[in-house]
Amino acid sequence: MKKDLLTIDELEVGDIDQILDLTAKVKSDRSKYSDSLKGRSIGLIFQKPSNRTRVSFEIGMVQLGGHAIYLGPHEIEMGVRESVKDVAAVLARYLDCIIARTYKHEDVVDLAKYATVPVINGLSNRAHPCQALSDIFTIKEKLGALKGITIAYVGDGNNVLNSLMCAAAKVGMKIKVATPKGYEPMKDVVRIAKECGKYSGSSLEFSNDPEKAARDAEVIYTDVWVSMGHEKESAQREKAFKKFQINDKLMKLAEPNCLVMHCLPAHRSQEITDSVIDSKNSVVYDQAENRMHTEKAILLKLLK
């Protein structure tokens, strides 16, 4: 595994397998790893608000015996008050690892370039690798396998989808994506995802038809229609995404025991109805919990 975790496509299939296996181990036996990173410290540089990413990394690091420090949007003002290069160089003198949650993906790349310690992408406008690794771990945990499983993603072609496509492709899943016209995933990421799945038996299908994507799916995944940074487009997006809601009608097209996934936070009654997110098929809270276990595995891989 490389020094940093910035995107899924940079990981080898073997790296993903090792992370998934280690995630299962740290989840099943917390005490075994309670001193694994004793005396080590991580810093969370966040330009965006966070619930799951912040708490899961902070508590995960504590459970591994280490220490975490949170540096919020107004504490560093990276790129404004101080250059990314200087932030990276200085924090690398204090910390053993940097987790960055940024608007621009280039900021994460620059942090990794100038930091002498590992940098983990906690979310950027291009990728959300920790989320995707946690997602495929959750699918494997629930269904017992990944290869050949059909996952449908219905909604915005955003950073979550970018990482999910690459992760699912690398492990041999079948991916069906439905987005409104004009909201498709980035073309270069689609190309990369197709390359990722070239030797795994994966297939990728894209359309503007949510019913086509949902039909016979074993997993249905969605995310908010208006991501952070797109608030000014709210009215326009709500109109464009109106037919892309995960509801009972759409779920009837999927497999009877189809898993329902959402990275959260969810805008209930918008991209997903209460009846679906609170159904027996929903694993959204398992996803949220597994973020911590997966991130613990990533930290162990990079720091131990």
Q: Is 267 helix (H, G, I), strand (E, B) or coil?
A: coil
**Cα 80 to Cα 59: distance, rounded to the nearest angstrom:** 29
- Among 105, 263, 287, 293, the active-site one is 263
C-alpha dist (Å) from residue 82 to 10, 43, 60, 74, 110:
28, 16, 29, 12, 13
3-state secondary structure of 236: helix
How far is the C-alpha of 137 from the C-alpha of 124, rounded, in Å? Answer: 21
Sequence-ordered alpha helix ranges (H) in the chain: 13-28, 52-63, 73-76, 84-94, 105-114, 129-143, 159-170, 187-196, 210-214, 234-240, 248-251, 274-277, 284-303
The 8-class DSSP code of residue 219 comes to E
- Residue 237 annotated to the active site: no
Candidate list 131, 135, 237, 262, residue with the active-site label? 131
Helix (H, G, I), strand (E, B) or coil at 290: helix
Identified catalytic residue from 101, 126, 237, 262 = 101
| Catalytic, out of 105, 156, 223, 245 | 223
Query: Residues 128, 237, 262, 293: which is the catalytic one?
Result: 128
Told to judge if 258 belongs to the known catalytic residues of this protein, a careful annotator would answer: no
Which of 83, 80, 91 lies closest to 115, judged by CA? 91
Residues 6+ apart with CB under 8 A from 90: none
- Known catalytic residue: 128? yes
Give yes or no for a contact between 223 and 262, defined as CB atoms under 8 angstroms apart.
yes
**Contact (Cβ atoms closer than 8 angstroms) between residue 200 and residue 170:** yes
Query: For residues 178 and 195, what is the distance between their CA atoms, to the nearest angstrom?
Result: 20
Known catalytic residues are 101, 128, 131, 223, 263, 291
